[in-house]
Amino acid sequence: KVLPACLLLALLFLAPALLAQEERGLIMNLDTGELCLQSVQCKSGCCHHDHILGLTRCAPKAAEFQECSPKTVYGVYYKCPCESGLKCDADKSIVGAITNTNYGVCKDPRE
């Protein structure tokens, strides 16, 4: 458990230097489909996996009427958060967050 935390800290400290060197780095500004550890690494802002043992990859954010997860501090999603301007209408209870069942559907908040 200590190794992943150290790795995450290293990524956070190295990210600005790598971004200054090139537009797309080895660990930041990743494209859809590339392996990731945290959503902050992805251009889309979503690091996604299908199941607990699956590899995490950058994925596009959820469009209107697609399944979504509310934004989380964990940085990895089973369902990506909504695109900009949309709201994830989901269970926001602590139980839903702990059991990872807080999925919803992206909706336009103006409708």
- SS3 label, residue 33: coil
Q: State the average pLDDT over residues 103-110.
A: 93
* Cα 92 to Cα 8, 25, 100, 104, distances in angstroms: 26, 34, 11, 10
pLDDT computed for residue 21 by the predictor: 43
17-46 pLDDT, tens per residue? 454 444 556 789 999 999 999 999 999 999
Do 108 and 73 contact (CB within 8 A), yes or no? no
The pLDDT of residue 100 is above 80: no
pLDDT computed for residue 52 by the predictor: 76
In the CATH scheme, what is the code of domain 1-107?
2.10.80.10
Can you read off the two tokens belonging to residue 58? 């950058």
pTM for the full model? 0.69
